[in-house]
Structure 1
Amino acid sequence: MRRLAPALAVGAAALVAVAGCGAQGTASLGNVKLAAAEAVQQSAQKAEAVTSYSADLVLDATGGQKGTSKVQGSVLYQSQPQLATDIRLDTITFGGQNVPGGARAILSGETVYVKSELLNRFTGTEKPWVKVSLSELDASGQAEVRKFMDQARQFDLAGTVKLLTASKDVKAVGTETVGGVETTHYSGTFPVAEAAQLVDPAEREKLQGHFSQAKDVKFDLWADAQSLPRKVTLSGAEQGTTFNLTAFFKGFNEPVEITVPPADQVGELPDHPAGNHGGN
């Protein structure tokens, strides 16, 4: 049984990370007027029922030890008939340094395929993709991959919008067109500590870590006439660091094509990756 290389564990977490009531004002949804908090709750409920979607993501961060960072990419997601995601990160910049070639991860069932020049250099593999299956890993490695799978579930559409229901100051601020679709724009803040209570206890510390030391996160939500979230932005600032995340969602419950790479393009994770020398 093999152990999971640190680069894969860290890389997988990074891919996923890049991937939440009182009311003020009302909004029209079809012919029904809803209080803003109720509308956000309804949007969260509708998001939970979505079984597939695509999204474009941009994350910008400044300050802190890593300096200026930017991650830009896209996500394909499906929960049925089995969980599958295809995450493409075309731009990855940390501290002004670009990660060559970006990165891509495909999760299909209980197998993860990762494509990253940086990972290939670390492991010494020649194939463009590295495959990791739970059945081939020891207990420690299985825990790392399962953690990746759990994060994929947590940072999906439903999990993100659920955080917004912790807001006590959400309000409707008008109507706007997003991606050619008429939407109602909501704005507010949510306290990270209270939003963390809405997720699984095992994930609370990770959630708070993703939002750094921010106590409150500002959000904007654009929901269509069916209450489906078309755009979500999250931003915050604390102790000299700021972050801004923007996600555009589309293709709700439409078929998505998530295909694993051809077998001749996939290498196995070596027992002793180059530069690891048998480490964990």
Structure 2
Amino acid sequence: MRTSTVRRVGVAVAVAAALTSVGACGGSDDGGTSKAKGKDGSSGSGVVKTDAIAALLDVQKKTGAAHSAKIEGTMVMGSTRSLKQSGALDWSDGVTGAMEITYTGGAMADTMKKAGGNGTMQARYFKDGYAADMGAALAQQTGGKRWISYSYDDLAELGGAAGAAMKDQMQNTTPDQGVKSLLASGDVKEVGKEQVRGVATTHYSGTVDVAELTAKNSKLDADQLAALKKQLNDAGVTTETVDIWVDGNDLLVKKSERGQMKTGELNMTFFYSDYGTKVSAERPPAGETVAFKELLKQQQGAAGNAS
């Protein structure tokens, strides 16, 4: 595998794994049987709320306090990547857990195929970074090391301002981010009552206009507004439609985000279930793991020796 290919795959995997975690914790119903439940295991009936803002403030609080959930969803990010993922994440103290990610199209899927991969990988998330299993194709080039580990500090150093922003998002994002986006929209409305995977939900919707994210038309504080605006601007998103479906326990069942990016369509849909589930993420064996920063040094050194 050439140096440029290793670097390109490694960087792409870093971004994809990071965005998957941020989106899942932060972005069309395809059916299924999983059901979102409260921590007591009940689906709940709740009290109908006429004030959408007040209702969403409750959702933000209760979902944020639930600490963990099983998550699955799909993501399309312009021409760069489309993927699906499933797993479980815990956000009680940073983001930890594991997600299986399958690339279904875009430039990233092409890069993975050219590198010998099958398009599917597992990402494990820890407080200080994450690791991605790149499979046998990578192991053949790295002496049996199929896992690439990414330190958030290294990503911040290698990626400059973008890397620093990614580090902050990965360490601080929680599933109530979609609710915060709706609160920031200033025009959030209750759409109606709908069934999502067998769960009775209330559907809320709003359009986030990045240029108008100001304190006077939202319930967010200045720091939250600034962080949200930067996240959207960095991706080239000018407007984003956010929809959430909430059960009777004020917990997210489904979240959808749609908009336009610099590279094309942005479309993310996530489903949440089994709140309070136990989440574990074991670090891969050291003998099968290479740090991304070290991998770059090795490949750059090999290229220098060959020239």
What's the TM-score once normalised by structure 1's chain length? 0.74
How much does 1:155 deviate? 4.4
CA contact (8 A) 2:127 2:171 kept: no
Instruction: State the partner residue of 2:3.
Output: none
Instruction: State the partner residue of 2:50.
Output: 34
Q: Structure 1 stretches (4+) deviating beyond 6 angstroms?
A: 142-146
Instruction: State the partner residue of 2:157.
Output: 140
Check 1:12–1:85 CA distance in 2 against 1; reply closer, same or farther (3 A cut): farther
Check 1:123–1:166 CA distance in 2 against 1; reply closer, same or farther (3 A cut): farther
How much does 1:150 deviate? 2.3
Instruction: State the partner residue of 1:209.
Output: 234
Task: Provide, for residues 14-40 of structure 1, a one-character-per-residue CA deviation record: whole Å limited to 9, x for no partner.
Answer: 2121328xxxxxxxx723433223222
AA aligned to 1:207 is L
Task: Provide, for residues 223-257 of structure 1, a one-character-per-residue CA deviation record: whole Å limited to 9, x for no partner.
Answer: 00111111011112478932211010112122123
Task: Provide, for residues 127-176 of structure 1, a one-character-per-residue CA deviation record: whole Å limited to 9, x for no partner.
Answer: 211335579x6993698987554222454312232111112322222222
Matched, 1:257 2:275: no
How much does 1:45 deviate? 1.9
2:208 pairs with one of 163, 178, 190 = 190
Instruction: State the partner residue of 1:15.
Output: 17
After alignment, is 92-101 or 229-238 more displaced?
92-101
Instruction: State the partner residue of 1:272.
Output: 297
CA contact (8 A) 2:156 2:165 kept: no
AA aligned to 1:177 is Q
After alignment, is 36-45 or 137-146 more displaced?
137-146
CA contact (8 A) 2:190 2:204 kept: yes
Task: Provide, for residues 43-64 of structure 1, a one-character-per-residue CA deviation record: whole Å limited to 9, x for no partner.
Answer: 12222212111211211245xx
How much does 1:92 deviate? 4.6
CA contact (8 A) 1:71 1:92 kept: yes
> In the aligned structure 1, how far is the partner of 2:173 from the partner of 2:152?
21
CA contact (8 A) 2:64 2:176 kept: yes
Aligned-pair Cα RMSD in Å = 3.8
1:55-204 equivalent positions in 2, closer than 5 A = 55-62=71-78, 66=79, 69-80=81-92, 83-95=95-107, 97-98=109-110, 99=112, 100=117, 101-116=119-134, 120=138, 124=142, 126-132=144-150, 140=157, 148-193=166-211, 194=213, 199=224, 201=226, 204=229
Give the secondary-structure state (helix, strand or coil) at the position aligned to 2:267.
Answer: strand
> In the aligned structure 1, how far is the partner of 2:296 from the partner of 2:264?
39
How much does 1:116 deviate? 2.2
> In the aligned structure 2, how far is the partner of 1:203 from the partner of 1:7?
28
> In the aligned structure 2, how far is the partner of 1:271 from the partner of 1:44?
40
Task: Provide, for residues 177-214 of structure 1, a one-character-per-residue CA deviation record: whole Å limited to 9, x for no partner.
Answer: 2233211112221222418956374674333223x242
After alignment, is 103-112 or 267-276 more displaced?
267-276
Q: Which runs of 5+ in 2 are unaligned?
A: 1-6, 27-44, 215-219
Instruction: State the partner residue of 1:229.
Output: 252
> In the aligned structure 2, how far is the partner of 1:260 from the partner of 1:175?
42
Higher helix share: 2
What's the TM-score once normalised by structure 2's chain length? 0.68
